Amino acid sequence: MPQELPSETVAPVPAPVPAPAPAPPPSRTAGARSAWLKTLHQWHWISSALCLIGMLLFAATGITLNHASSIESTPTVVNRQAQLPQTLLATLDPEAAAPASASAASRHSQDHKASLPAPLREWLSTTLGRKIDDREAEWSRDEIYLSMPRPGGDAWVRIDRGTGDVEYEDTDRGWISYLNDLHKGRHAGLAWSWFLDLFAVACLLFSITGLLILKFHAVSRPTTWPIVGLGFLIPALLALLFMH
């Protein structure tokens, strides 16, 4: 008998795998949302960097102002007296400054505000050890009074127009008072006033961009708006219930 040959096993051919469908292009809405979120994050961190030091100082001085009565400070007072030279005193003599025909009433009506003459300012700066600028002084018939308030202290100069006696007093209330006055913009000058305005704009930008970023993330964070509402509700209730 003829010998049977072993049968060969034929492996099944796998069916071709269909190619994956291409991913749909991102919608215009999703692209615009991503661009807006990126822009908001950029403005948020820039404004926060600009505001960081100022916000820390304003928060700290907010505490010191709120507890000003509990923070003891001893002001440092410096008093000096001097005598005006005759050459300078002659320029301030009210009798010489007024016309001879002027009545006493008209001389008293000469009260006004004006800067001190430059030679007098130079003499006072050298004698008193403090720079005297060109701010306005109060001129009356008997005396000249120059007030020089500043953050954290004040000073004044009084000159007797008849005798030339000069009185000077300087009061320094310390660095806490200095920072508190900066917080309030008290006697800090025009430059600091402009800085406060710009700082306020940066804080508004920081807060508004933060609010918009919260809006974008609120969908996946359901506690966002309740927490924001709580931040409004607490001070509102305190104002309504405890402020009379």
Q: Which helix (H) or strand (E) holds 149?
A: none
Q: How far is CA 188 from CA 79, 135, 147, 194, in A?
A: 23, 14, 14, 10
Q: Each residue of 157-203: pLDDT tens digit?
A: 999 999 999 999 999 999 999 999 999 999 999 999 999 999 999 99
Min mean pLDDT across 28-37, 106-115, 137-146, 235-244 is at 106-115
Count of Cβ atoms closer than 10 Å to residue 228 Cβ: 15
Q: Each residue of 55-108: pLDDT tens digit?
A: 999 999 999 999 988 888 889 999 999 999 999 998 887 655 444 444 444 444
Helix (H, G, I), strand (E, B) or coil at 147: strand
How far is Cα 129 from Cα 135, in angstroms, rounded to an integer? 17
Listed by start position, the domains of the chain span 33-71+200-234, 76-173
CA end-to-end distance (rounded Å), the chain: 121
Which residue type sits at 40?
L
The pTM is what? 0.74
Count of Cβ atoms closer than 10 Å to residue 116 Cβ: 22
Count of Cβ atoms closer than 10 Å to residue 153 Cβ: 19
Task: Of 201, 210, 197, give the one whose Cα is nearest residue 44.
Answer: 210
How does DSSP classify residue 8? P
